[in-house]
Amino acid sequence: MTDSSASTPPSMQQALQLLEQFRALIYDTHEPSLPTTVEPAWEAYKQALHTLFQIRHLALALCKGDLSYEIKEKGALAGALKALQANLRHITWQTQQVAQGDFTQRVEFMGEFSNAFNEMVCQLDRMAQELQTQQDELIRRNDNLILEVAERERAEAAEREQRQLAEALQAAAMALNATLNYEEVLDIILERVGDLIAYDSAVIMEVEGMRAYVRRAKNYYRYGEEIEKRVLESWFDIPQTPNLFTMFTTLKPLVIADVDQYAGWDRRKTGNPVRSWIGAPIYAHGQILAFFSLDKLEPNYYQEQHAHKLEMFANHAALAMVNARLFQEIQRLAVTDTLTGLYNRRYFFERACQEFTRSCRYHHPLTLIMCDLDHFKSVNDTYGHPAGDLVLQTISHLVLETVRKSDLVARFGGEEIILLLPETAPQYGESLAERLRQKIAATLIPVNNHSIAITASFGVCGAYPLDCRLEPRRAIEIMIELADQALYQAKQSGRNRVCLLLPDFTDKDASLESEMTA
């Protein structure tokens, strides 16, 4: 058999190759190769084949989603594919716009595809609106939930604060009810108020008439010894002290956020560097017993919420003070000298030991004064014992009127009067003794158409700091012995004078021990 291709004319063979290329371009999936050379008569077929090759590439690119392929071919088929490519590019852009939330995009030029696309966009628009509505509702509910949680947290915080306040007040009430000793009650009040309201320093001022006397002070030592002494010795004229007068007239707490902005604040009285201050009256049955005075070095620390706490605590403090005062009055009747109304000797030692212990605990000074009336025996011998009793009563009342309420005054025996001055430095005790001496010397006591003039001698013993290693009673005995020595010096120096001795506890004990050994 012979090869048929060998008998085929070359032109026919070229035509068959071109037809095979056309067929491959149309039907084959692999990339066909174009003929490199053809006879001139078949050049038009070659160009048609090249055009079909470009159209095939564009069609395959479109199938793969590649809209970037460009052809320069012209004609109906190429133009249709280019139009399709342009439409797909536009639809792609519109789809991107829809993806970015622009649901106004519409396709109007692709028949059924346009309808499907437009319906899809409308559906997406409805879904987006529904989602937005749901999102808005979710945001609203979330905001409400946040508000509810915040409100619940505030309520829980307020409840927790109220519970803590109630617990602190209950603990304070239990501590206050545990004693009827008035001095202990004052100490507990000043201690417990710090559990409710923080302070850098604080005092309790007891009201007598229209004056307020410092009865308890805490933490003023940190400002220096001079300021502490001034505070411990200070008293205030209530009508002339704006913050006290405000509380006195309103029976309400007072908050001064920054004392530098308070026109009525006077630092000259005590000199302490307070910046923020809060106070409250302690009163019962409309009568003011005392004032709280708390301060902070930090300005704008105290606010109105502190005032509410302090007012509630002041109510408990007032009840405790009233009960302690009633008990104190009952006790006083059992421990006072019937003639003079002064405390008796037994009670003096009991209270003096307590004051010594308290002075050690709070690092306060303590001063003791012995007073003896000069030539008292001659009064009894000349005018009789009733006249002597009247002189003792008069001098006792004069002493009570001169000293502070916190000072302890007792009849020590015969015509001797003993005074214990808590929180008082020796030099202030000496000054008080001098004032008493002058008042007594200037007093005329009428007896049976006569005016009796009498003088007194004073021995003062002050201690600061105290030797807290000693037993309280032993320490008081040493102070009495030294005051008695000072009194003896005053008598020996001509009477009607004041002498001061400062104790040296160690030397005193040593000398006493040597005397006992001898």
pLDDT tens per residue across span 29-54: 666 665 666 556 556 666 776 777 77
Given this model, what pLDDT does residue 212 score?
Answer: 94
Nearest Cα to 407, choosing from 383, 371, 447, 438? 371
| β-pair partners for 203 | 217, 293
Given this model, what pLDDT does residue 483 score?
Answer: 97
Strands 416-422 and 408-413, by their bridges, are: antiparallel
Given this model, what pLDDT does residue 10 score?
Answer: 52
Given this model, what pLDDT does residue 437 score?
Answer: 98
- Tokens 């008569």 correspond to 41
In the predicted structure, residue 500 carries a pLDDT above the cut 80: yes
Any idea what DSSP says for residue 239?
G
Q: Which stretches within 258-301 are classed as H helix?
A: none
For 182-328, give the CATH class: alpha beta
Dihedral pair phi/psi, residue 20, rounded to 5°: -65, -35
Q: How confident is the model at residue 444 (pLDDT cuts 50, 70, 90)?
A: very high
Nearest Cα to 218, choosing from 187, 196, 197, 185? 187
Greatest extent of the chain over all pairs of C-alpha atoms, in Å: 186
* Tokens matching residue 352: 């003096």
In the predicted structure, residue 8 carries a pLDDT above the cut 60: no
* CA distance readout (Å), 231 to 79, 218, 305, 409: 107, 10, 27, 22
Given this model, what pLDDT does residue 102 score?
Answer: 78
The pLDDT tens digits for 120-168 are 878 888 888 888 889 888 888 888 888 888 888 888 887 787 787 777 7
Q: How confident is the model at residue 221 (pLDDT cuts 50, 70, 90)?
A: confident
pTM for this entry: 0.46
Given this model, what pLDDT does residue 419 score?
Answer: 98
Given this model, what pLDDT does residue 178 score?
Answer: 81
Q: How confident is the model at residue 386 (pLDDT cuts 50, 70, 90)?
A: very high
* Burial readout 461-491 (b: 16 or more C-beta within 10 A, e: otherwise): bbbbebbeebebebbbbbbbbbbbebbebbb
Cβ atoms within 10 Å of 401's Cβ, excluding its own: 8
Rounded Cα gap, residues 207 and 288, in angstroms: 7
pLDDT (mean) for 320-338: 86
Dihedral pair phi/psi, residue 253, rounded to 5°: -65, 160
* Tokens matching residue 179: 């004693």
- Higher per-residue pLDDT: 3 or 149: 149
* Tokens matching residue 455: 């003088």
Dihedral pair phi/psi, residue 341, rounded to 5°: 80, 0
Cβ atoms within 10 Å of 402's Cβ, excluding its own: 15
pLDDT (mean) for 242-256: 95
Q: How confident is the model at residue 477 (pLDDT cuts 50, 70, 90)?
A: very high
| β-pair partners for 463 | 366
Given this model, what pLDDT does residue 508 score?
Answer: 47
Strands 276-284 and 287-296, by their bridges, are: antiparallel
Could you tell me what percent of the chain has a pLDDT over 70?
Answer: 87
Give every CB contact of residue 82 below 8 A, 6+ residues apart in sequence. Answer: 58, 71
- Tokens 């011998």 correspond to 381
* CA distance readout (Å), 8 to 1, 12, 43, 45, 270: 15, 7, 20, 19, 134
List for the chain the helix, strand, coil content (%; round to 5).
60, 15, 25
Q: Highest mean pLDDT: which of 17-21, 313-317, 473-477?
A: 473-477
**How many degrees, rounded to 5, is the angle at CA 272 between CA 271 and CA 278?**
120
Any idea what DSSP says for residue 33?
P
| β-pair partners for 287 | 284
Given this model, what pLDDT does residue 50 score?
Answer: 75
pLDDT (mean) for 454-470: 91
pLDDT (mean) for 75-95: 76
The pLDDT tens digits for 268-327 are 666 778 899 999 999 998 899 999 999 999 999 999 989 998 998 899 899 999 998 988
Rounded Cα gap, residues 238 and 250, in angstroms: 13
Rounded Cα gap, residues 238 and 290, in angstroms: 11
Q: Residue 191: helix, strand or coil by DSSP?
A: helix
* Tokens matching residue 180: 């009827």
Rounded Cα gap, residues 362 and 423, in angstroms: 9
Rounded Cα gap, residues 266 and 258, in angstroms: 13
Domain at 336-517: CATH architecture: 2-Layer Sandwich (3.30)
- Higher per-residue pLDDT: 438 or 150: 438
